[in-house]
A and B are shown apart, each in its own frame.
Chain A
Amino acid sequence: MTVELSLTRDPAHIRHGSNIGQPMTRTDGVLKVTGKARYAADNHPAGMAYAVIATSCIARGRVTALDVTAAKRHPGVIDVMTPAHKPELAEDPDAKGNPFAFRMELLQSDEVRYANQAIAVVIAETLEAATEGAALLSPRYQVEIARVGLDAGEAYAPPVVGIGNPAEVRHGDIDAGMTAATKLTDATYQTPAQYHNAMEPHAMVAVWDGDRLFIDTPSQGMGFAQMRIAGLFGIPPANIHINSPFLGGGFGSKGLISGPQVLGIMAAKLIGRPVKLVLRRSQMYGPVGHRPPTRQRIRIGTDDAGVIAVINHEARVTTSSFDDFYEPAADASHTLYASPAIRTAHEAVRVDTGTPLFMRAPGEATGSIVLESAIDEAAFACGIDPLEFRLKNYAEVEPTTGKPFSSKALRQCYARAAERFGWAGRPLQPKQMRDENGFLVGWGMGTATFPAIMFQGNARAVIRADGKGVMETGAHDMGQGAWTALAQISADSLGVDFDQLTFRSGSSDLPDAGIAGGSGHTATVGAAIHNAGAAVIAKLAELATTDERSPLFGAGNAGVVARGGRLHRRDDDARSESYAEILARAGLAEVDATGSGAADAAAQSQYAMHAHGAVFAEVKVDPELGQIRATRLVGAFAAGRIINPLMVQSQLRGGMIWGLSFALHEEAVMDHRSGRILNANLAEYHVPVNADVPPMEVITVDEHDPHVNPLGIKGVGEIGITGSAGAVANAVFHATGIRVRNFPIKIEEVVMRLG
């Protein structure tokens, strides 16, 4: 196949003639290892100027003065965009046209609503001049007291959580459950604010041509971005051409276009020249979303035998002072464990931060670490092995809805991961194991789950006169491997060998592929591709089977099979004809068709659809110094059909590392008075480094799911975090006997409590 990106391809890394299910290496691999993959900030149109954002260092108040003169006096500075001097917008950036139109700061006023908010943009001939120009603005403020943290104000019940989920869900009789329970685990946990920190900072290279706009910017959802930009600038969406072939990671932060990206477009408009605007790392801690902190109280009541009678999971989350996003943390308790009574409820507090947004497994991650820790606590209270406890409370149907699962191979996940890990024989009591050097050793586990979500996506399939296939879809590759996995599906759907396929993607000029999020991109776009392929093959078949001159004449649509660039009679494989021959005889240069993918509402109402997994972790803890290191992680996941095992392994490992990071490392530290983030960098906002990552094993458990979508795909982008975070935390408890309920687990919590 060909990636339409002047790919210099090393044939050795591509396995021919194999598609779905094959562990092919990445088709964009050569581009990425040679530095030729062009990310947004790598573009440099002629005449380009540099824009740098000046950000507020207060979290709440007003900008009362900006020294624009000083900035403009700096050599090379072209202009300074401020609330008083900016292009007019067609739409209020604070207008709430739809729930996904999050309010953004586009210099509409002098108000500051969080630290690191854009308050001006300096545009200059060089990056150095723009950067210093921004510093020279020396803003003055009227400061108001910032609202910081989970107790900053009165809590209220949010209207919805996540994407339209009810804030409170009740199933069964909670009071009866509490009465029936003979053992109660009642624990309150806290999780910190976290920031996506994709390696690639948000970038915008914008070029206006009249009322047409050409932009290079990383996007997980070009269609959404087009709509938003069109609204803001008052131009038709079709006038906006977005190029986003590669994202340097997104994790949700590039799902919706952010304020700073739009500021880059505004700057280009203001000066009438192409402009590049790239966020500095510190500026990513504010306007591009984050995972909000949570405080979660969870009560799990069981009988003496360890059968759950009730789960009551309550979460307090923060949102911004000016918009609404509510991390659906407690919803993690809806699906995993059977219980006659389940209640989940959320409350929220408004604080002076940027609006929290979707961050890899939003709600699932924050909820999972708490649920899995509490399950571990409940199992321990009952004196039951944590795996046995989970099996005892295995949900045969989705507990809160009573729906059957479309497929659920969780038992196999438990069994295979436990066996591989060597879980059997684990002492029930904590602090029982030490290694040869005297380090405390602990083993913990967690159950992973993530819903099988689909959005809406489209694709266009073409068979050309030379018999080769083309598939076009405006999909997004943020590292999950869309360039490869979707091409694999494309080749199969068109019945061509991989090297006979041209796969076009990563541009808004191609059919809208929806959004790369919710672990649903491969499923959604894969279905669109599958349908587009089927449709174009049907057209070919129609041409052939209705033509007396064809060996396939009379076979009928249902009677042919597409394979290797040929149609074969299903009942007589020897009778076949190549695509090229069919088109040549029909006198056609090409034949094309479109297809779309979306969730099947009927199947969804009938079945609960989730991927599942089991993660087992080993940690070592220094018994005196409290330093913790994960030493082994084994995960088994059942996520429907696996398109590319190599990349699925990578994604699952990556997710598990996020889980490890959640439990042990990452946290944004905010000054409780000023609301400024004190570690808005990568030196002190600790994401795991190579040495933190232990040997990992990922097992994928076969799962055939006829209900989720035509290809049986559930998605693997986010599930890896769930289960893993809890497994690591539970392993720390098992090593030390100390249950830390504040994440990440800090050295002092262990040091001060380890005798």
Chain B
Amino acid sequence: MMNFDYVRPASVADAIAAASEKGASYLASGTNLLDLMKGGVSRPSRLVDVTRLPGLDRIERLADGSLRIGALVRNADLAHDAEFARNYPAVAEALLSGASAQLRNAATVGGNLMQRTRCAYFYDAGSACNRRWPGAGCDALKGENRLHAVLGWSEGCIATHPSDFCVPLVGLDAIVEIEGKGGRRELPLEALHRLPGETPERETALERGDLIVALRLPTEAKGFARHARYIKVRERTSYAFAVVSAAASLRIEDGRIRDARLALGGVAAKPWRAREAEQVLAGAAPDAAVYREAARAALSGAKPSGDNAFKIELAQRIVVRALTLAARGTPDRIPALPGSPFSSVAGA
């Protein structure tokens, strides 16, 4: 990797100043960034180490019932926080279905949000990729693309976002707190990641120097705790990225779905909130027919970007499964195989 200037600022303000130069990049645990640097995909000239910034490693319950998670909270610590897992079980399950225990011990909340696609053409320095090199073209488009996007893609980029964690979060209206040159601002997580459109290289809504300092889950997010699941299909039982995943969070009262949140992973350049499906579900009795209708709605805008038509069918089925399992009730504890279809029994 390219040599870089290493700085370890003492405050958020110093960090932002240090990262506002061209070529600078924030370093948290580095589980994704170092991988990208070793692959020659990222070549930052300065690393701004934010791991020592004070106050960003806390999980705070706010007075209004919302939850504020510091950007430096480690994935494993969040997933294993008993209260967090009780209140946001699908988020905990998604976290634990991702990567490996070692990576979850290191990776931070902020870093997870900022992780970049696993598209092989993005990683392969010898391939054309509009994300890496705007205007270069997209070798994935006519390449080996059975795992690429089926929603929201463009001719310029068909990559998918690899995060598990973000999928249930986007359904729960999570909010990202950002500090930048212009001060503090907030953004719905759904607006953080961008679809490629004409500018695939602009992966997020962040500006140079922007630092994610926290993630907030609004008060209502706790309301889905009794009916929430994350289900992930992958090519081995563990330690693999999603082929397709779905997070379903339901509020069921008097035999009716009062509120439904549904999001898909592995299908688009961003964690995909399926609002059309949520509308189908809202007010309906939880049954297989309505799940199927919701699944159709969720994928109504889907089209294959290559050799991946099966993902549209699979995504619909996983939506049905996630809804079915969520309606059946959140398991008492995180399943032995988090997110796996083979842990589909309640309480398993």
Contact = CB atoms under 8 A, between A and B. Distances in A.
Asked if the two chains touch in their complex, CB atoms less than 8 Å apart, one says yes
Interface of A: 57-58, 74-75, 115, 128, 131-132, 135, 437, 439, 620, 622, 624-627, 629, 664-665, 669-674, 676, 678-679, 683-684, 686, 688-692, 746-748, 751-752
A689 B100 CA distance: 11
A77 to B, nearest CB: 12
B2 A747 contact: no
Nearest to B239: A689
B313 A751 contact: yes
A670 to B, nearest CB: 8
Given A132-B3, A686-B235, A751-B310, A624 B320 contact: yes
Interface string B325-341: 00000000000010011
Contacts of A690: 238
Nearest to B336: A691
B48 interface: no
Interface string B128-156: 00000000000100111010000000000
Nearest to B318: A625
B182 interface: no
Given A439-B342, A625-B341, A672-B144, A748 B3 contact: no
10 contacts: A57-B124, A624-B321, A627-B234, A627-B341, A676-B124, A678-B120, A683-B118, A683-B240, A692-B238, A747-B233
Contact of B233 (A135, A625, A688): A625
Nearest to B143: A671
B75 interface: no
A673 B143 contact: yes
A669 B314 CA distance: 21
Nearest to A672: B144
A689 B240 CA distance: 10
B58 to A, nearest CB: 31
B121 interface: yes
A57 B321 contact: no
Contact of A132 (B1, B241, B321, B344): B1
A689 B237 contact: yes
A437 B310 contact: no
A748 B304 CA distance: 14
A691 to B, nearest CB: 4
Given A674-B139, A746-B146, A748-B310, 20 more contacts: A57-B126, A74-B3, A132-B1, A132-B2, A624-B320, A625-B317, A625-B341, A629-B237, A664-B236, A669-B144, A670-B144, A671-B127, A671-B144, A676-B124, A688-B236, A692-B236, A692-B238, A747-B310, A747-B314, A751-B313
Contacts of A664: 236
B313 A678 contact: no
Interface string B288-318: 0000000000000000000000100110011
* Residue of B127, B142, B234 contacting most chain A CB atoms (<10 Å): B127
B246 to A, nearest CB: 10
B195 interface: no
Contacts of B235: 665, 686, 746-747
A663 to B, nearest CB: 12
A670 B120 CA distance: 10
A678 B238 contact: no
B40 to A, nearest CB: 6
Interface of B: 1-3, 40, 118, 120-121, 124-127, 139, 142-144, 146, 231, 233-241, 243, 310, 313-314, 317-318, 320-321, 337, 340-342, 344-345
Contacts of B40: 135
A674 B314 contact: no
Contact of B341 (A135, A622, A673, A688): A622
B247 to A, nearest CB: 15
A58 B320 CA distance: 44
* Residue of B139, B146, B233, B342 contacting most chain A CB atoms (<10 Å): B342
A437 B120 contact: no
Contacts of B126: 57-58, 115, 674, 676
* Residue of A437, A751, A752 contacting most chain B CB atoms (<10 Å): A751
Nearest to A690: B238
A39 B306 CA distance: 44
Given A132-B2, A752-B310, A627 B124 contact: no
Nearest to B243: A747
B236 A665 contact: yes
Contacts of A665: 235-236
Contacts of B143: 671-673, 678
Given A439-B342, A748-B314, A684 B120 contact: yes
Nearest to A670: B144
Contacts of B243: 747
A649 B238 CA distance: 25
A710 to B, nearest CB: 43
A624 B139 CA distance: 32
A673 B310 CA distance: 23
A282 to B, nearest CB: 8
Nearest to A437: B345
Given A622-B341, A674-B127, A678-B121, A748 B146 contact: yes
Contacts of B318: 625
A684 B237 contact: no
Contacts of B341: 622, 625, 627
Contact of A686 (B121, B124, B240, B317): B240
A752 B236 CA distance: 19
B337 A135 contact: no
Contact of A752 (B124, B231, B313, B337): B313
A689 B144 contact: no
Contacts of A691: 236-239, 337
Nearest to A678: B120
A118 to B, nearest CB: 15
B320 A689 contact: no
Contacts of A748: 146, 310, 314
A391 B233 CA distance: 39
A747 B239 CA distance: 17
A657 to B, nearest CB: 12
A678 B123 CA distance: 9
A135 B125 CA distance: 11
A131 B38 CA distance: 9
A590 to B, nearest CB: 51
A669 B120 contact: yes
Given A625-B321, A627-B342, A678 B144 contact: yes
Contacts of A686: 235-236, 240
Nearest to A59: B126
B270 to A, nearest CB: 21
A131 B342 contact: no
A629 B235 CA distance: 10
A679 B120 contact: yes
A437 B344 contact: yes
B54 to A, nearest CB: 31
* Residue of B121, B341, B345 contacting most chain A CB atoms (<10 Å): B341
Contacts of A673: 139, 142-143
A131 B124 contact: no
Contacts of A131: 1
A689 B317 contact: no
Nearest to A665: B236
Contacts of B236: 664-665, 686, 688-689, 691-692
A676 B233 contact: no
Contacts of B345: 437
A665 B317 CA distance: 22
Contacts of B237: 629, 689, 691-692
Contacts of B234: 627
A629 B236 CA distance: 8
B164 to A, nearest CB: 14
Contacts of A683: 118, 240-241
Contacts of A670: 144
A751 B239 contact: no
A177 B146 CA distance: 42
A693 B317 CA distance: 26
Given A672-B144, A752-B310, A689 B2 contact: no
